[in-house]
């Protein structure tokens, strides 16, 4: 799951990024949610290389003829279009992120969108209600936080199973701080 917990102070022996309950009264939880990026830098380079190899195969048959110069721009254009689409997709998905900060005094969610203003929500965690709607909703395991007169969706880009896990972890953290 693309959810990274930062818990302070943290008990010794806990893996960084894993959920655990904080150990002291001045505890704070920080959760960073990002969408899945299925292809990293190595995958990107491999995809471009494999596509270039497959585009070069038909060109080998016409090597040394004037037909090569007629087909070469189209192969280059196809390779450029693939590169552009993959780069654009990574930039769109990579810019989206939600950060949840939770202390005994406040819970804050900041959502950073690629082409929209940053959205911010804050409430008192004692009065916040965490809801996981799994039956009768358009979206399976719809996760919301309600407080300060607003209902805020959390982890819209996560899978239903990941939202259920996040609900369990966040409800434990809220119970611990109350």
Per-residue pLDDT of the chain (178 residues; tens, 9 = 90+): 578 888 776 555 655 555 566 555 667 889 999 888 778 889 999 999 999 999 999 999 999 999 999 999 999 999 999 999 999 888 777 678 899 999 889 999 999 988 889 999 999 999 999 999 987 778 888 999 999 999 999 988 888 999 999 999 999 888 888 7
Pair 150, 162 in one domain: yes
Pair 24, 105 in one domain: yes
Please state the separation of Cα 60 from the chain's center in Å: 42
Pair 100, 170 in one domain: yes
Pair 135, 158 in one domain: yes
Pair 103, 86 in one domain: no
Long-range contacts of 51-57 (CB under 8 A, 24+ apart): 51/78, 51/79, 51/82, 52/79, 55/79
Please give the backbone phi and psi of residue 136, each rounded to the nearest 5 degrees, phi first: 80, 5
| pLDDT tens sequence across 90-142 | 877 767 889 999 988 999 999 998 888 999 999 999 999 999 998 777 888 89
The radius of gyration of the chain from alpha carbons, rounded to an integer in Å, stands at: 23
Please give the backbone phi and psi of residue 40, each rounded to the nearest 5 degrees, phi first: -90, -165
Pair 31, 52 in one domain: no
In this structure, are strands 119-123 and 28-33 parallel, antiparallel, or unpaired? unpaired
Distance in angstroms (rounded) separating the CA atoms of residues 9 and 27: 6
Among 93, 125, 159, the domain boundary falls at 93
Give the total number of structural domains in the chain: 2
Pair 50, 106 in one domain: no
Pair 55, 101 in one domain: no
Q: What is the CATH number of the domain that holds 165?
A: 2.30.29
Pair 57, 134 in one domain: no
Distance in angstroms (rounded) separating the CA atoms of residues 145 and 153: 6
* Residue range(s) defining the domain that contains residue 118: 3-35+96-177
Pair 77, 8 in one domain: no
User: Quick one: which of 127, 99, 84 has its CA closest to 33?
Assistant: 99
Pair 164, 104 in one domain: yes
């Amino acid at each position: 799951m693309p959810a990274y917990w930062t818990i302070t102070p943290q008990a010794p022996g806990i893996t960084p990024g894993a959920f655990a309950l904080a150990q002291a009264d001045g505890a704070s939880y920080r959760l960073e949610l990002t969408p899945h990026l299925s292809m990293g830098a190595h995958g990107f380079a491999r995809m471009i290389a494999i596509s270039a190899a497959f585009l070069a195969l038909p060109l080998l048959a016409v090597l040394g003829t004037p037909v090569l110069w007629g087909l070469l721009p189209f192969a280059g254009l196809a390779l450029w279009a693939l590169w552009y689409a993959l780069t654009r997709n990574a930039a769109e998905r990579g810019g989206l992120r939600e950060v949840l900060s939770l202390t005994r005094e406040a819970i804050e969610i900041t959502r950073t969108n690629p082409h929209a203003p940053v959205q911010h929500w804050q409430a008192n965690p004692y009065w916040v209600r965490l809801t996981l709607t799994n039956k009768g909703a358009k979206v399976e395991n719809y996760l919301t936080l309600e407080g300060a007169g607003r209902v805020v969706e959390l982890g819209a880009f996560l899978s239903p199973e990941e939202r259920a896990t996040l609900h369990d972890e966040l409800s434990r953290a809220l119970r611990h701080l109350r």
